[in-house]
Amino acid sequence: MARVLTGIQSSGRPHLGNILGAIIPAIMLSKDVQNEAFFFIADLHSFITIKDPKQLIENTKATAAAWLAFGLDTQKNTFYRQSKIPEVCELTWYLNCITPFPMLANAHSFKDKSEKLADVNAGLFIYPVLMASDIIGYNADFVPVGKDQKQHLEMTRDIAISFNHMYGNTFVVPEPIIDERVMTIPGTDGQKMSKSYGNTIDIFLPDKKLRKVIMSIVTDSTRIEAPKNPDADNVFSIYKVLASETKISEMHSKYLAGNYGYGDAKQELFELILRRFQNEREAFNYYISNQQELEKRLQEGEEKARVVIREVLLRVREKLKF
């Protein structure tokens, strides 16, 4: 059996990018009889940016509810909150001490975020090492992630390989699974959809609020009557990742023909999201209002996950003679 592992931060509520880029493909992999999956909510990573504990807990619950709403089987797989298994922090310390400073200083994500964020803390810097511990601490074979995580996975492999080289075979060296065909889902402003850019679409919002978000997608000021270029428009690029081939080509023709406004396209996108995710929206609300069930499922997963990382840590301490 191969172990598939992935995590999602709870620095905001889960968005369409996380769902199409991570949750749906990861759950598909978890359904394969050859695989068992470890899926978790990276709430320690989220603390790098979210300092309000109440907000962090709310986001963590919403992220957990999203995994369950999309059909994660928590009997077969292991589902947990990163912070409930603090052994990962001990492992991070050992790995910090064998990770070269320039590797972290040159990471794209660190460079990018340290320019944009007001709070550039040490956690942001060692973020990739905690991520490596998340992965090699649980003996993951495969890690499905979006393209934006590629470099973090390369660092994880480098860290695992150099530890194994220095102390003898200790860690499984994981393989990333990055589907290059799965595009980076664009946000309401056309940039990559990201919690840190404030351009996300939260498909679990109540109808009215969701509609408001869809209506806020940035478009140019071409008049209704005029033909429009679908390939240069944000509404169409989001519609494209959700609709069927036929519907996509219908909307494409409407753009080119004119007399079709961006407001019309936004309304179609809104209705499509409601239709396509109707069951998941209902299931999400169920889990949000049944916190006890959510908590129970997570705690069961945390029991299972803890056993695995403790074994790995024993191995590491043994090698390091601590």
Catalog residues that contact ligand TYM under the rule CB under 6 A: 6-9, 17-18, 21-22, 42, 45, 131, 134-135, 143, 145-146, 148-149, 152, 184-185, 192-194
Quote the least distance from Cβ 50 to ligand TYM, whole Å. Answer: 12
Residues 232 and 229: their CA atoms lie apart, in Å, by 6
Give catalytic status of residue 84 as yes or no. Answer: no
Contacts 24+ apart (CB under 8 A), 247-255: 247/272, 255/227, 255/228, 255/229, 255/230
Q: Which is nearer to ligand TYM, 22 or 217 (CB)?
A: 22
Tokens of 270: 């809104």
Give catalytic status of residue 54 as yes or no. Answer: no
Residue 2 phi, psi (nearest 5)? -95, 140
Residues 320 and 94: their CA atoms lie apart, in Å, by 9
CA dihedral 120, 122, 126, 131 (to 10 degrees): -80
Query: For the chain, how are helix, strand and coil distributed in percent, rounded to 5?
Result: 60, 10, 30
Quote the least distance from Cβ 232 to ligand TYM, whole Å. Answer: 19
The residue type of 255 is Y
Residues 177 and 62: their CA atoms lie apart, in Å, by 25
Identify whether the C-beta of residue 222 lies closer than 8 Å to the C-beta of residue 35: no
Catalytic one of 84, 113, 228, 266:
113
Catalytic one of 61, 84, 195, 266:
195
Quote the least distance from Cβ 170 to ligand TYM, whole Å. Answer: 18
Q: Which is nearer to ligand TYM, 202 or 264 (CB)?
A: 202
Quote the least distance from Cβ 253 to ligand TYM, whole Å. Answer: 27
Q: Which is nearer to ligand TYM, 134 or 268 (CB)?
A: 134
Q: Which of 208, 212, 216 is nearest to 188 (CA)?
A: 216
Q: Which residue minimizes CB distance to ligand TYM?
A: 21
Quote the least distance from Cβ 131 to ligand TYM, whole Å. Answer: 4
Quote the least distance from Cβ 178 to ligand TYM, whole Å. Answer: 8
Side by side, the strands of the sheet bearing 78-81 are: 78-81, 35-42, 2-9, 142-144, 175-177
Give catalytic status of residue 113 as yes or no. Answer: yes
> How many CB atoms within 10 Å of residue 311?
13
- Which positions are catalytic? 113, 192, 195
